[in-house]
Structure 1
Amino acid sequence: MTAGTQHVQASAGPSSLLAAAELDRLRAAVSAALAVFLGRQRETLAAMDPSLVPVVDEVCALAEGGKRLRPAFAYWGWRGARDGGSDEDEATVLRAVAALEFVHASALVHDDVMDGAHTRRGRPATHVGFASRHCVDGLDGDRELFGTGAAILVGDLALVWSDELLRRSGLSPAALSRARVVWDTMRTEVTAGQYLDLLRAAGGLPGPDGALTVARYKSAGYTVQRPLQLGAAIAGAGPEVSEAYTAIGLPLGEAFQLRDDVLGVFGDPAVTGKSADDDLREGKQTLLIALAEERADETGRRLLGALLGNADAGPEEFDVLRALLESTGARARVEERITERTALARAAIAAAPLSADARAALDALAVAATSRAA
């Protein structure tokens, strides 16, 4: 069968996409690995002091949600390249790539603090939850500062645990050493991307190019490119595979983040688990906003200036902002870019020097990641 016939049609249903990428099995395996690890950490923290249990409970709650796409990309990155002579067994690899979920959890917690977000995956954001706990427990001091401080520490702990789970996964010393090179690069990029996001929110990195720079380093790289390369490193693959994963990962990671941006404003809250007003209320400077600013007339730009990031604005006012994003063509242009970047990634998948099952799985993941509703 040729690489071209391995392509999954964009119109394929969710069930066929899940089957091609074995997502149900991979999600179950990753969840099991996280549960075992977190069970041990709960015992450790409870032995230190019972008041630490809510901290590990929060990490558990964060780890329970999510689509597990990053571990899935890493797993298929390994499986597609393992013909190169990987000696690692599948269970070990799945434990190792599960550590990506802790990196993701850390980034989400810190991002919510920076943005002042109220919800995450249908529950209070970590800093909001701990501020509420401060009140319920009758603690002294400022509840908001307590919530923010606790959230920063929860995020830090998740990042510490990402390292520990990778190290204790059972990878051979050689595979672990290779993996660390990608792992360290990825975590540096995520942290740098968070700062670039903070800088853009303060007026730095203006325009569409600035928005895309933030998207690349804050989210796109660690969502697809680096997980794929992590799998390749574990497998001991050569540079041609790593280069192929860059050709796949950069455009696909960007398309994934742009889909996230669209859902943040136009998504169904019952599906996404967060209000469709949050990104507008927080003033997120996404490509949607940059394009609207470019195309809007003077009245539209005044509207953006008055309502974007306005904590006092209501649903009707944010509906007006959404209408502006539509009327300026910003949403349509972002959708066009998602389609173009996804097509570029899928062409790179078809040409990649990988096993046929990995090409089919990665193509399915590409479709699922960029056409999702949450």
Structure 2
Amino acid sequence: MTSPVELAGLRPRVDKALAAFLAEQRTRLTGIDPALAEVSDALEDFVLGGGKRLRPAFAYWGYRGAFGADSDAVVAALSALELVQASALIHDDLMDRSDTRRGEPSVHRRFEHRHREASWRGAPSAFGDSAAVLLGDLALVWSDELLHVSGLGPAELARARPVFDEMRTELTVGQYLDVLTQATADTSLERAGKVARFKSAKYTVERPLLLGAAIAGAPAELAASYTAFGLPLGEAFQLRDDILGVFGDPAQTGKPAGDDLREGKRTYLIAAAFGALSPADRAELDAGLGRADLDVERLRSLVRDCGALTATERRIDELMSAALAALEAAPIDEDARTVLHALADAATRRSV
């Protein structure tokens, strides 16, 4: 069966737009200094070497759902979402001290290794961290540039700009709330839900849909329908990610088993466990989170046996039901409705 991201040949079109843009940036960077070829290499590998192109897919079909006509300029503009995603992942891996991403060294580890291999001065880890901060920032800067050189007209750009800006602000403060939640050890479902919404849910589904709608000049009624569909779907997407972060197969996630436990993530899944465990088991889970030498299987069993995994799966089902009901009622193109339904199903099952 054709993946919903492949419909309209979307994935190769996004890849082509990104490759062309990054090739232009390589020329710019190496013209400044040949040493910057390593920066281009790293960002090209990161952006072009993987990813499901889920955010451009939601944006594109949000645009088509608003009866927008297909064009290469629209695809190029929506491809800018992949650079926002790259920035978020590079910074997230650094903050979480993750060693890998998609089965390859994370960006800060890549540059740490480069420093060590070259026997440069100073601490390899400090160099890697600095490089990751700067490359993540550069990807975010380039996301703005790609949107503006995509070929969209002035009116379309003017409509897109507020959505694009709001999305990047929400993502950044969501990342801060995630860091704050780990530092304060907040285990409330309310805080876990807010982090899920702002760190991931809104910029994964809702804002891409609204970006597509804005470019198409959609009315407020359709935008409201996209929010009613996209926000619960985005939360369901993040809850699935939370489950994979604890119980996922490394071959599927590209990260070590139980990586969220090792990073001490206070996700909805973990918050549900804290609410269900006995005081003794809660203390054991709290003591184990964030430890490099944790017993992954023991913590998994605590989370599973208390019913937190089942409760999180149930919450995903509830969110999906709400999202699909909103999609069914949305005043959109029927072909786009069909594809968005398939995207929703694939996103929450990670089959995209």
- Alignment TM-score > 0.5, same fold: yes
Secondary structure of 1:311's partner? Answer: coil
Q: Report whether the alignment pairs 1:336 with 2:321.
A: no
1:5-44 map, 5 Å: 15-16=1-2, 18=3, 22-23=6-7, 25-44=9-28
Instruction: Extract unaligned runs of 5+ from structure 2.
Output: none
Change (3 A) 1:21 1:28: closer
What is the deviation of 1:73?
0.3
Distance 1:75 1:54 in 2: 32
Cα deviation digits, residues 218-246 of structure 1 (max 9, x gap): 11000000000000000001100110010
2:236 alignment partner in structure 1: 255
Identity %: 56
Letter in 2 for 1:320: R
Q: Measure the CA separation in 2 of the matches of 1:233 and 1:24.
A: 20
Question: 1:373 & 1:322 partners in 2: Cα distance?
Answer: 23
CA shift, 1:90, in A, is 1.6
Equivalent position of 1:79 in the other structure = 64
Q: How far 1:23 moved relative to its partner? A: 4.2
Query: Quick one: structure 1 residues 365 and 89, their matched pair in 2 at CA, closer, same or farther if it must change by over 3 Å?
Result: closer
Q: Does 1:54 align with 2:32?
A: no
Match of 2:328 among 340, 350, 354: 350
> What is the letter of the counterpart of residue 34 of structure 2?
P
Deviation of the 1:299 alpha carbon? 2.4
TM-score computed with the length of structure 1 as normaliser:
0.91
* 1:241 paired residue among 222, 243, 246: 222
Q: Once the two structures are superposed, what CA deviation does each residue of 1:35-66 show, in whole Å capped at 9, x if it has no partner? A: 00011111111111111111111111221211
Question: How many Å separate the matches in 2 of 1:114 and 1:147?
Answer: 12
2:107 equivalent among 126, 129, 142: 126
Seen in structure 2, the aligned counterparts of structure 1 residues 24 and 122 have a Cα distance that, compared at 3 Å, is farther
Contact 1:271/1:373 (8 A) holds in 2? no
Q: Which amino acid aligns with 1:80?
A: G
Measure the CA separation in 1 of the matches of 2:157 and 2:21. Answer: 18
1:205 deviates by 4.8
Matched, 1:274 2:259: no
In the superposition, relative to structure 1, how do residues 191 and 181 fare at CA in structure 2: closer, same or farther (>3 Å)?
same
Map 1:207-218 → 2, pairs under 5 A:
207-218=188-199
Conserved? CA contact 1:282–1:310, under 8 Å: yes
Letter in 2 for 1:50: P
Task: Check 1:54–1:21 CA distance in 2 against 1; reply closer, same or farther (3 A cut).
Answer: closer
Contact 1:216 1:253 in 2 (8 A): yes
**Deviations along 1:64-117, whole A, 9 cap, x unmatched?**
2111010000000100102xxx5x652111000000000000000111111111
Q: Which residue type is aligned with residue 65 of structure 2?
A: G
Structure 1 counterpart SS, 2:323:
helix
Distance of 2:351 and 2:12 partners within structure 1: 21
Q: CA deviation at 1:171?
A: 0.2
Please tell me the residue identity of whatever aligns with 2:324: R
Corresponding residue number in structure 2 for 1:109:
90
Distance 1:102 1:198 in 2: 22
Higher RCO (C-alpha 8 Å, min separation 6): 1
How far residue 21 of structure 1 moved from its aligned partner, in angstroms, is 5.3
For 2:187 and 2:103, how far apart are their aligned partners in 1? 32
Once residues 229 and 264 of structure 2 are traced to their aligned partners in structure 1, the CA distance between those partners, rounded to angstroms, is 30
Residues of 1 paired with 2:304 and 2:351: CA distance?
Answer: 18
Unaligned runs of 5+ in 1: 1-14
Which deviations, in whole Å up to 9, do the C-alpha atoms of 1:236-261 show, x marking residues without a partner? Answer: 01100110010001100000001111
Is the contact made by 1:224 and 1:252 (CA closer than 8 Å) also made in structure 2?
A: yes
What letter corresponds to residue 75 of structure 2 in structure 1?
L
Contact 2:5 2:54 in 1 (8 A): no
Query: What is the distance in 1 between the residues matched to 2:122 and 2:342?
Result: 51
CA contact (8 A) 2:94 2:129 kept: yes
Cα RMSD over matched residues?
1.4
Given that residues 63 and 213 in structure 2 are in contact (C-alpha distance below 8 angstroms), is that contact kept between their aligned partners in structure 1?
yes
Residue 184 of structure 2 aligns to a residue whose secondary structure is: coil
Map 1:187-198 → 2, pairs under 5 A? 187-198=168-179
**TM-score of the pair, normalised by structure 2:** 0.97
CA distance in 2 between partners of 1:100 and 1:327 (Å): 39
Counterpart of 1:6 in structure 2 is: none
User: What whole-Å deviation, never above 9, does each CA across 1:320-370 have from its counterpart, x for those lacking one?
Assistant: 111111101011111011111011111111110001001101000000000
For 1:153, the equivalent position in structure 2 comes to: 134
Q: CA deviation at 1:311?
A: 1.3
Task: Identify which range, 23-32 or 128-137, moves more after superposition.
Answer: 23-32
Partner of 1:11: none
Give me the whole-angstrom Cα distance separating, in 2, the residues matched to 1:294 and 1:181: 39
The partner residue of 1:370 within 331, 344, 348 is 348
User: Structure 2 counterpart of 1:40, which letter?
Assistant: E
Partner of 1:360: 338
